[in-house]
């Protein structure tokens, strides 16, 4: 019985020791790759690289559910045919995406805009949807949309 306990304890110690050696080797490899002087700074740098959340990632989180909108900094032309005498009235518009940093860390405000170059009863046909985006969530915080009025144009 004592032999089994000693054998089991030896196995656990050897396994722990080899894991510690591997971990130290991984840290040494990371240190030699980034040229940093301490294990602590190498670990922080590796963590920052793997968890960085930026404007592009925030926009991508919103655009995955709204693929009709372009990437930030770009616009996309759209058009529709409304009522009226045949063949109807062609109305053009644009879609755009903007991203702003929030005052909260790792938080961005992504705005999707649909702008028809048309007015109904002197009201511009415009849609705006603002999302608060963090690494964990995408939340619609504000929206205004009267673009459906395009259907009543004759």
Q: What is the distance between the alpha carbons of residues 55 and 135, in angstroms, rounded to a whole number?
A: 11
- Residue 18 above 70 pLDDT? no
Give bridge partners of residue 114 from the DSSP assignment.
95, 127
For the stretch 45-103, pLDDT in tens is 444 444 689 999 999 999 999 999 999 999 999 988 877 777 777 889 999 999 999 99
Question: What is the reported pLDDT for 86?
Answer: 74
Is the CB of residue 62 less than 8 Å from the CB of residue 133?
yes
Question: What is the reported pLDDT for 87?
Answer: 76
| Res. 29 pLDDT band, cuts 50 70 90 | very low
For the stretch 111-131, pLDDT in tens is 999 998 877 778 888 999 999
Sorted by sequence, the CB contacts under 8 Å of residue 2 that are 6+ apart come out as none
Strands laid side by side in the 75-82 sheet? 75-82, 89-101, 108-120, 123-133, 138-145
- Six-digit token pair at 44? 């922080």
């Amino acid at each position: 019985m004592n032999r089994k306990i000693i054998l089991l304890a030896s196995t656990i110690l050897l396994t722990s020791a080899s894991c510690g050696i591997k971990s130290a080797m991984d840290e040494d490899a990371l240190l030699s790759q980034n040229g940093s002087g301490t294990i602590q700074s190498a670990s922080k740098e590796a963590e920052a690289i793997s968890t960085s959340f930026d404007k592009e990632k925030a926009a991508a989180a919103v655009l995955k559910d709204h693929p009709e909108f372009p990437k930030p900094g770009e616009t996309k032309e759209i058009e529709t045919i409304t009522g009226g005498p045949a063949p109807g009235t062609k109305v053009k518009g644009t879609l755009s995406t903007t991203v702003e940093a929030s005052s909260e860390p790792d938080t961005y405000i992504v705005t999707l805009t649909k702008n028809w170059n048309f007015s109904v009863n002197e009201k511009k046909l415009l849609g705006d949807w603002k999302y608060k985006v963090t690494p964990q969530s995408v939340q619609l915080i504000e929206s205004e949309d009267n673009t459906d009025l395009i259907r009543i144009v004759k």
